[in-house]
Structure 1
């Protein structure tokens, strides 16, 4: 039976490929995710690399790059088989579903039907009428939702089901524990002893996972330096380094975080995401910690500026945020302060179309006006612009918090009449 229409046959694919998982994202987000995919694919020992290629192919499809998507799906199949040390298995079902969908869209119906048959007739996979999924599908769907920062409670549920159904898969258990930690953090909940014990056990089972080790040591800050001393021998991962550097900032010092970041970058000079992390450490020290630290030396600012300029080339689809970050550094320079305002005026003249990007720009400019130009009146105006956009975001939340501190009657009335976000 050939596929007559993708929608009418959605039950065949149900929960078995990315195209049925409600993963729609805006084009700017898809472009930013492409960079994230590229960085993720370079991590040595990455046990989720096959899933990365599957998601990458889906993103390329959504961007209209269908031949590139086919290449990524094919890479996913080869990578998954290599990681599982076999040529066939349930780990390929999501990949088959993706390829069936793509081939149908390209008008290649025989190829589509061949992959669809593999999905539909796979002996290990429940039929579409059954609620229970195979653990491989639970795990891949959970990883995908987590990577895209979707419903974290659903991520925890899927990883828990996958890990309980197939306990020998160490990375599934690790991901379940990490997702549980993040869910507690997102809900501002304290970690209970049960979750801490799960973290300890997961760390013992998965000792090379730097991210898990750093999260666990966040609860044991005295051991952070010891972990940093071994960082060169551990897998140099984006998430792991990010968490470790955050621990340094919190429990040791922002200056030592810079030293550690520069050390790791020197050992891995061609790793793109490390340059981003080093730039972040400098920005945190120069901009956000200036109240608690002595004013940064001009030499520190001079090092931070070219790092941030390089990010504009390395991450062309993150230009808006990177340009704003560069402006915050220029604002702290002794001899280039005017460049900060020039950057902001250029961005405001060509303001972004995406509401959340617009909120970010207005909010960051409001902060610049208040702290760097002592212009509280215009700062309030831009915070009001942020709040007036009915879109949920951390920037809108921050601007509303700032406005609530102002006792002006006009602002109080403005806040009472705000349109609530629809989502």
Structure 2
């Protein structure tokens, strides 16, 4: 034990260094500029060419790392429009730039203005328009194109988002349930970048699941992976919490948290980051149920898990809103194959229910809008 301890600490230090230097990029700052419009020719009434546009187009399989490697200057400047001349009264249009980015990217200027987001393959968005050409109404002088820094912010799009503190078994679950091969080991911070796996069913149905870097206490304030993790939860349809029945302690400076404490802390971190996340459909997996004493511990807390609001807990881990789990699954991800089959079945069922609910909501909204339109056509009632 005396020999192993320094090695263990060295491993942890190395993991933390990797944790901070991780190559996976989920945000990237670039500079974009539309081209200047070309000048007109007053003598012959010639018109200059439009400046080129900078646009982004969503592509599967592209990463922000690739965007960076293709142009490390991160400056994307479209071509200027051609000037009008005696030989060519209409100036040539400036060359456009089309930048391929990952599906799931949102684009925001440095002043906080949202330019848009790309959630589907081949969606395209112009983010910097070229300048207008010179002509008789503007003194034949072309104008400058739009130019500003833009932040590309990637939020993974997946059906299911795995939520849990380090070492809860999320990576083991993803590995067992899908074709993803995340690193699995018995120490915190094994997952330092998101892993996306596909769950396959015999009828060819596929469900995407994202294992996201483990939270730590204070993640909402950007401690640990902080916002780097939490923002990826926003675009998932279903939250799947994974907690250890025997509780968790991140390190000596942190208090030991029981299984129930862990659930309340996860609820708190989600609420403090974005309260709307608490309204998302959610399931919870109580993991490591094959270990001695697990059944007894689970029996003590299973009723509390059905109604988190009634738990008497410390003020620092209490929330104002609470997750309402649609199902509670006590399992052993690592050692019971039948539990994996059960999880796959439950996840599919819940996603089908969510799809039906969304369809009903859209139908109700359409009906409401139709009624409003009909009422407008009838006009005000005469008294």
Q: Which has the higher helix share?
A: 1
The TM-score normalised by the length of structure 1 is: 0.27
Structure scoring higher RCO (CA < 8 A, sep ≥ 6) equals 2
Structure having the higher Rg: 2
